[in-house]
Structure 1
């Protein structure tokens, strides 16, 4: 992580203190690159089947590349979304990772047919941007994502899907190492690189684990990520009303700190809410 911090300052991937930001000194924003590199190295060294991993790896490179460029040069929202869509297309169309049908109470099995790809892409974009939106307080996005990945990994173990479980727990390990440097006072942020990469992997793992889903299995990631999903939903509504797609500093995390709640208290309370979702699921 110290090497990534030096690299971030060298290339200009630094978040400067501003009115709506909680930190008070320049902070490196390439922590997500360290998460990606550590996960990728361990995944390639591990004795697991990688025969169908190329589409996922290319999708990861696209999402991480988009995040790195955004952390350095601050891409427009349209360009950032284009990168996310391209990564999602890569894993759905090329990799075949998508949800094909769902089982609903009283209605039985409902096939998505041609809508399988757009529904899966929407799911990926929703989770990527939900995690990205809450990456505003030290330790928050990392803590929430760790809970989500532990849940997905645990369910994968119960279902006998060792590949998904191993991937989820590798990501948990990478996140825990990152959180050492990210809890208040943070010396490095995961940045858009990390938030989008982790959101992307959570979305992909949930699709891989629940390809042929029931209503309950579909709701599990939503329950665990209830806070970021709710935050994202109201942020979209608010920005549509204002005809403004830029960040307005009014997410739940930033609003709570505005009302006098300390940064670590805000992050801990939101992580606790997500942890309640984990307990509820179990």
Structure 2
């Protein structure tokens, strides 16, 4: 390997474009994206993530994304190798580099936990540290429970940037425990609001009618137009910890599901931590079943 053997805090536009092309090739070959949305967004924004681009014979053959450890959360890495350059040790090199750069406890995501990723983890003596489940539900042929908003609550949609601060506050309070979701900034909200898929009518807010500017919880939906046919997503459901126990998670999830079905979508997906038993229970009762698993591996102490 030559060139690109160091970690960079930013990528120039040409390099970011080349990495995106690599990621698209890997997605087409594997049927699953090799890195998260957060990693893709970090290619062209100041995010705190670091990047390593592997180059062989002047060609970009691999990419690694590394987010440093923060608070009690370990460093997290994501790695992709171009399908035409696999089997030459680039993946092992990038994973090893990420583990070394991230420090003790660093975790490396294997999206879809495909057999090559399992084999690489076995060679490097890595063990499963975390599971992220993708769950799916049919919308076209199965019934949805009726949406009933209880007295003392108002359900409305996103009114514009004026709601941004409250959505951010609730998100970070609800996911304070979460290594990726809990540290959002206003820039993270703005970046997603500027995406082509964003629709303010698909961002639902639960508020107290007596204080309509104070958000109790929200459900941010998303539509994956790149899938054929398009698929809906329960993108983020966040409930203010002070409003827990009022059934807001189920209410907001249902509001989003009714909206996505009204848009003509036949299927909806979501992601949840495999060990979040309360969330898994809620989504299972709403008809979701596990479809695949993303696994975070770490070095065995």
Shorter-normalised TM-score: what interval? Answer: under 0.3
- TM-score after normalising by structure 1: 0.27
Report the structure, 1 or 2, having the larger strand content. 2
Higher RCO structure, 1 or 2 (CA under 8 Å, sep 6+): 1
Report the structure, 1 or 2, having the larger helix content. 1
